[in-house]
Amino acid sequence: MTSPSRTPELSEEALKHLRLGQFLQFMLPIAVGFLLVYAVFAAVLRSVALTGGTGAVLVYTLALARSRRLAARGHTERAALLSGYALLVMVALGALFLHFLFAALVLIALAGVVLVLPYVERPALARYMFVAFGVVVWMVVVAGLLPPLVEQPPLELQRWVSALAVVASVALTLRMMWVDALRLRQSLARAEQAVATRDEFLSVASHELKTPLTPLNLKLQALRRELSAPTPPCPERGLGHIEMAQRQVKKLVELVDDLLDVSRIGAGRLELHPAKVELEVLVREVMERFEPEAARAGYSLELEKAQPLVAWVDEVRFQQVLDNLLSNALKYGEGKPIRVRLESLGKRARLTVRDEGIGIPSAALERIFRRFERAVSGRHYGGLGLGLYICRQIVESSGGTIVASSTPGEGATFTVELPLAQEESAPAVSTLPPADSRHRIS
Ligand code: ADP
């Protein structure tokens, strides 16, 4: 079982990024100092090319330092924009002061890189900036000191190169604006969708919570009538009312538990206490508990195969998974047989719950494991669309998988696979990380 600890640990990638960041922080002042000395040296030599080139690199280095700070604060795009501009300006100046041909070639390559910068992630951006810095220093040192490899071209051509730099800058700005507009539109659509989902959820949740209250109220009234009647109360009838009332209370408790679990998962507070669990015993116990309810609804509940298997799981939470799958089979199974199997599959245990009910459209097979997602109309079947979401969080945190397969109209099969317990594995309390820090939960 993965057991994420509560103290944040840095990943290898984050550590590398941090080291690179520290290195750049250390290098930048040295580079600026070096360039200043270099510029003074070039001025003393009265070399226009060297002074201009060094000045350009100095400006670029300062822009780089600023972009690094922006990127560190999470403003990746602004950082990309700034370093992109600085590069273009620097290379355009380079074209005027240094080797024209070399600068023109670099300009074309850099303009391409700059255009894709808005899509570059933070660590990649840092690497890119580091390499670009090296190229620039190399350019000024080597190209500035050595005699030109080719004759400087006519002024006309140099102007063209500068114009190209301006065009690339404008293209970069337009692209950034376009990306921003697209992002804005997407986040607006996401926000609207989230509000619509929340509103729908509130209406479904209040309806679901209210549904058991009416029969509960009726049963309590009947019990009261029974007890206050002039004739002596009939214990059997009274117990019947109490039993019905308890069933409604159980439904309410289950709904509230699901809601609490979802908010715990969202906040990363759903704790798992893994231990060595005899899966066969657990499956038999849960099925026994379901037997009366299944019999009342006219279902046959069969344990087709059960091997003695041991896994490290949170026993209560794993019972909850099986509870959920069996409740769903009873809810959507149309009274037809429900079959359960527990078997080993190499180093994994495989649990399947199969029914012959309404089934699930293939387009919904993945979606139903997400929060609030349902494949049926609320008018025909009650439910919040949370059970399978919670199941998947529990199973995946135990190192397992859960999937659904179905032929609509012929039933559905839910398959849970879990790693079998190894002798050396040890239990630990683990907390599910917050939902949005893990894979796609929407
Ligand atoms: P709920 O049942 O409360 O809606 P779940 O998360 O348990 O929430 O299930 C999500 C959806 O998956 C259900 O609304 C239903 O459309 C579908 N589903 C789950 N189990 C079955 C099943 N055994 N047969 C058909 N559909 C199912």
CATH number at residue 225: 1.10.287.130
User: Domain for residue 437, yes or no?
Assistant: no
CB 61 within 8 A of CB 147: no
Q: Are residues 262 and 276 in the same domain?
A: no
Q: Which pLDDT value is given to residue 116?
A: 52
Q: Which pLDDT value is given to residue 362?
A: 94
Q: Are residues 243 and 337 in the same domain?
A: no
Side-chain-side CA neighbours of 236 within 13 Å: the count stands at: 0
Q: Are residues 287 and 218 in the same domain?
A: no
Q: Which pLDDT value is given to residue 197?
A: 80
Longest dimension (CA), the chain: 119
Neighbours of 199 (CB within 10 A): 10
Asked if residue 408 has pLDDT above 80, the reply is yes
How would residue 439 be classed by pLDDT, with cut points 50, 70 and 90? very low
User: Domain for residue 356, yes or no?
Assistant: yes
Q: Are residues 183 and 230 in the same domain?
A: no
How would residue 3 be classed by pLDDT, with cut points 50, 70 and 90? very low
Q: Are residues 385 and 245 in the same domain?
A: no
Alpha carbon nearest to ligand 1 atom 21, residue: 328
Element holding 406 (H helix, E strand): strand 401-407
Q: Which pLDDT value is given to residue 277?
A: 92
Q: Are residues 221 and 187 in the same domain?
A: no
> What does the chain come to in residues?
442
Number of domains, the chain:
3
Alpha carbon nearest to ligand 1 atom 8, residue: 385
Measure 368 CA to ligand 1 centroid, in angstroms.
Answer: 7
How would residue 330 be classed by pLDDT, with cut points 50, 70 and 90? very high
Q: Which pLDDT value is given to residue 372?
A: 85
Q: Which pLDDT value is given to residue 173?
A: 58
DSSP 70-110: HHHTT-HHHHHHHHHHHHHHHHHHHHHHS-HHHHHHHHHHH
Beta strand residue intervals within 292-379, DSSP E = 301-306, 310-313, 338-345, 348-354
How would residue 22 be classed by pLDDT, with cut points 50, 70 and 90? low
The CA-based angle 412-208-365, given to 5 degrees, is: 25
User: Domain for residue 197, yes or no?
Assistant: no
How would residue 442 be classed by pLDDT, with cut points 50, 70 and 90? very low
Q: Are residues 173 and 221 in the same domain?
A: no
Residue of 209, 374, 394 best suited for mutating to test ligand 1, as the one with most atoms within 8 Å of CB: 374
Neighbours of 415 (CB within 10 A): 17
Q: What are the structure tokens assigned to 26, written together? A: 């250390």
How would residue 334 be classed by pLDDT, with cut points 50, 70 and 90? very high
Measure 411 CA to ligand 1 centroid, in angstroms.
Answer: 12
Looking at mean pLDDT, say which of 193-197, 262-266, 359-363, 368-372 comes out highest: 359-363
DSSP 358-402: S---GGGTTGGGSTT--SS-TTTS---S-HHHHHHHHHHHTT-EE
Residues with CB under 6 A from ligand 1: 324, 328-329, 332, 355, 357-360, 368, 374-376, 383-389, 412
At residue 45, the 3 state secondary structure works out as coil
Q: Are residues 300 and 172 in the same domain?
A: no
CB 342 within 8 A of CB 417: no
Name the percent of the chain lying above pLDDT 70: 58
**8-state DSSP, 431:** E
Q: Which pLDDT value is given to residue 436?
A: 44
**Closest of 250, 261, 329, 264 to residue 294, by C-alpha:** 329
Helix, strand, coil fractions of the chain, as percent rounded to 5: 65, 10, 25
Average pLDDT estimate for 319-348: 95
- Average pLDDT of the chain to the nearest whole number: 76
Q: Are residues 174 and 208 in the same domain?
A: no
Q: Are residues 324 and 403 in the same domain?
A: yes
Question: What are the tens digits of pLDDT across the range 154-174?
Answer: 556 555 655 565 565 566 556
Looking at mean pLDDT, say which of 83-87, 178-182, 317-321 comes out highest: 317-321
272 forms beta bridges with 430
Residue where a domain terminates, one of 224, 250, 267: 267
Q: What are the structure tokens assigned to 397, written together? A: 């945190």
Element holding 323 (H helix, E strand): helix 315-332
Residue 66: which domain range?
A: 4-192
Q: Are residues 257 and 333 in the same domain?
A: no
Average pLDDT estimate for 96-120: 53
Average pLDDT estimate for 190-194: 89
Residue where a domain terminates, one of 152, 170, 192: 192
Q: Are residues 333 and 227 in the same domain?
A: no
DSSP 250-275: HHHHHHHHHHHHHHHHHHT--EE--E
Question: What are the tens digits of pLDDT across the range 345-379?
Answer: 988 999 999 999 999 999 999 999 998 888 998 77
